[in-house]
């Protein structure tokens, strides 16, 4: 099995996502998390997913750069529509929203 450095793999992934029209911020986030999965030994959730993501973009099952829309929100919860964006992006944004809600909660 070939050994590819993290830097080289990152470059390949970012270029692939760029060619597919993915905004740099999202491409960097998805790339970082895919490589992190590989480094943790979860290869099925790593860069092996890139071809299926590109296929999903082409077939419009994945909408890169899709807006995140908050449908309903309370002081402690939110219902989010990711509009078929990358799961890594939607989940990260949802986690950031939850952390913000936690920080604004009175002690």
- In the chain, domain spans: 6-104
Measuring CA to CA, how many Å separate 89 from each of 22, 26, 63, 67, 96? 12, 7, 11, 10, 11
Mean pLDDT, range 29-38, rounded to an integer: 97
Q: What is the DSSP letter of 66?
A: P
Phi, psi of 79, rounded to the nearest 5 degrees: -105, 125
Cβ atoms of 105 and 77 within 8 Å: the answer is no
Banded pLDDT at 44 (limits 50, 70, 90) = very high
Banded pLDDT at 107 (limits 50, 70, 90) = low
Question: What architecture does CATH give domain 6-104?
Answer: Orthogonal Bundle (1.10)
* pLDDT score, position 105: 60
Specify the DSSP element, H or E, that contains 82.
Answer: none
Whether residue 14 has pLDDT greater than 70: yes
pLDDT in tens, 61-90: 999 999 999 999 988 889 999 999 999 999
């Amino acid at each position: 099995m070939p050994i590819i450095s993290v830097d080289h793999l990152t470059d390949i992934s970012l270029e692939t996502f760029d060619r597919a029209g993915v905004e740099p911020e999202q491409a960097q986030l998805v790339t970082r998390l895919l490589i992190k999965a590989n480094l943790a030994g979860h290869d099925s959730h790593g860069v092996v997913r890139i071809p299926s993501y590109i296929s999903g973009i082409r077939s419009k099952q994945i909408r890169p750069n899709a807006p995140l829309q908050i449908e309903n929100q309370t002081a402690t919860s939110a219902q989010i529509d990711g509009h078929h964006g990358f799961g890594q992006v939607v989940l990260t944004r949802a986690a950031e929203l939850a952390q913000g809600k936690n920080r604004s909660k009175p002690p």
